[in-house]
Amino acid sequence: MSIEQLKDQIPDFAKDVRLNLTSMMADDTLSPQSKYGLLLASAIATRNPIVIAAMDSAASAVMTPAAVAAAKTAASVMAMNNVYYRFVHLASNPEYKTMPARLRMNALGNPGVERADFELWSLSVSAINGCGACMDAHEKALRQSGVGSDAIQTTVRFAAIVQSVAVAIETAWSGTAQVAE
């Protein structure tokens, strides 16, 4: 499925979502690899198979297989980390902050792409999953790598748009869009 076909799946009640997706695809704030890896990692975080298929197809047309794999790695490792570190951050018992995570995260040491790209993708997934501790850590790493506020804000804006596309499509498919007659 292409991104154009994905746009056709977005129902009329979500016209703003469709317009945001269109403007996002025309945005050139990020390099193509950064942008398409971000779209793929964010799509995976939505867990919506239609959105994942469209973004995987688009990313695979622009990125190397290694970069596509790195975006998928960012999404899968952050799925684990976001649950764990969100718990540690939100739990009122401070003891958890002193305990080792004991989670394998070897991919973080050598993601197979530029560190900044992997951090952008990890930030997008963390934003979708709502892990404040991870968002802070990735934003800090990006700033230390010289990535500016515009690119960081664009990353989170794109994640928000991809998430809204998934919600609009799920709502239309669930039939809830036709309720209230």
CA nearest neighbour of 128 among 94, 88, 80, 160 = 160
In contact, 150 and 29? CB cutoff 8 Å? yes
**Environment class of 140 (CB within 10 Å of its CB; exposed 0-12, middle 13-18, buried 19+):** exposed
Q: Which residues lie below 8 Å from residue 84, measured CB to CB, with a gap of 6+?
A: 101, 103
Tokens describing residue 133: 């501790």
**CA distances to 33, 42, 78, 87 from 116, in Å:** 11, 16, 15, 26
- How many other CB atoms sit within 10 Å of the CB of residue 62? 15
Residues marked as catalytic: 131, 134
- Which among 161, 78, 82 has a CA at the least distance from the CA of 121? 78
Residue type, 149: S
Q: Give the CA angle between residues 87, 80, 120 to the nearest 5°.
A: 100
